[in-house]
Amino acid sequence: MAGDVRVGDLDETALLARVVPLLPTEALLGPGDDAALVAAPDGRVVATTDVLVEFRDFRRDWSTGADVGWKAVAQNVADVAAMGGRCTGLLIGLALPTDLEVAWVEDFARGTAAACARFGAVVVGGDLSAAGEVVVSVTALGDLQGRAPVLRSGARPGDVVAVAGTLGRSAAGLDLLLRGAPGPGADETLVEALVSAHRRPQPPVQAGPAAARAGASALMDVSDGLVRDAGRIAAASAVTVELTTSGVLGEWVRELGAEHVLTGGEDHALLGCFPPEAVLPAPFAVVGAVAPAGPHGVLVDGRPWTGTTGWDHFLR
Question: Binding to a second copy (CB under 8 A): which residues in 84-113?
Answer: 85, 89, 91-95, 98
Instruction: Give least dist CB 167 to a second copy, A.
Output: 17
Number of residues in contact with a second copy, rule: CB under 8 A?
74
Closest approach, Cβ 153 to a second copy, in A, equals 8
Question: What is the DSSP annotation of 187-255?
Answer: -HHHHHHHHHHHHS----TTHHHHHHHTT-SEEEEESS-HHHHHHHHHHHHTEEEEE-TTSHHHHHHHH
Cis peptide before 41 (omega within 30 of 0): no
190 binds a second copy (CB under 8 A): no
Which of 36, 79, 109 shows the shortest CA–CA distance to 221?
79
SS3 of 124, please?
Answer: strand
CA-based nearest residue to 210, from 283, 116, 117: 283
Q: How far apart are CA 255 and CA 245, in angstroms?
A: 12
Report the distance separating Cα 126 and Cα 29, nearest Å. Answer: 13
Sheet with 135-143, edge to edge strand ranges: 123-130, 86-96, 135-143
Shortest gap between Cβ of 35 and a second copy (angstroms)?
A: 4
Single out the residue of 66, 115, 151, 256 in contact with a second copy (rule: CB under 8 A). Answer: 151
Q: Cβ 16 to a second copy, closest distance in Å?
A: 11
Pick the closer one to a second copy by CB: 7 or 22: 7
117 touching a second copy, by CB under 8 A: no
Nearest to a second copy of 7, 262 (CB atom): 7
Residues in 124-143 at the binding interface with a second copy, rule: CB under 8 A: 124-133, 135, 137, 139-142
Q: Which among 120, 92, 74 has a CA at the least distance from the CA of 270?
A: 74
Minimum distance from residue 175 beta carbon to a second copy (Å): 21
Nearer to a second copy, 43 or 180 (CB): 43
Alpha-carbon distance of 151 to 111, in angstroms, equals: 30
Residues 236-265 that bind a second copy (CB under 8 A): 236
State the minimum distance, in angstroms, from the CB of residue 81 to a second copy: 9
Q: Is 192 in the site for a second copy (CB under 8 A)?
A: no
Among the listed residues 314, 90, 95, the one whose alpha carbon sits nearest the alpha carbon of residue 224: 314
Q: Which stretch binds a second copy (CB under 8 A): 17-25, 60-68, 144-152, 287-295?
A: 144-152
Binding a second copy (rule: CB under 8 A), the pick from 23, 38, 197, 239 is: 38
Minimum CB distance to a second copy smaller for 28 or for 186: 28
122 versus 253: smaller Cβ distance to a second copy: 122
Selected binder of a second copy within 55, 146, 179, 295 (CB under 8 A): 55
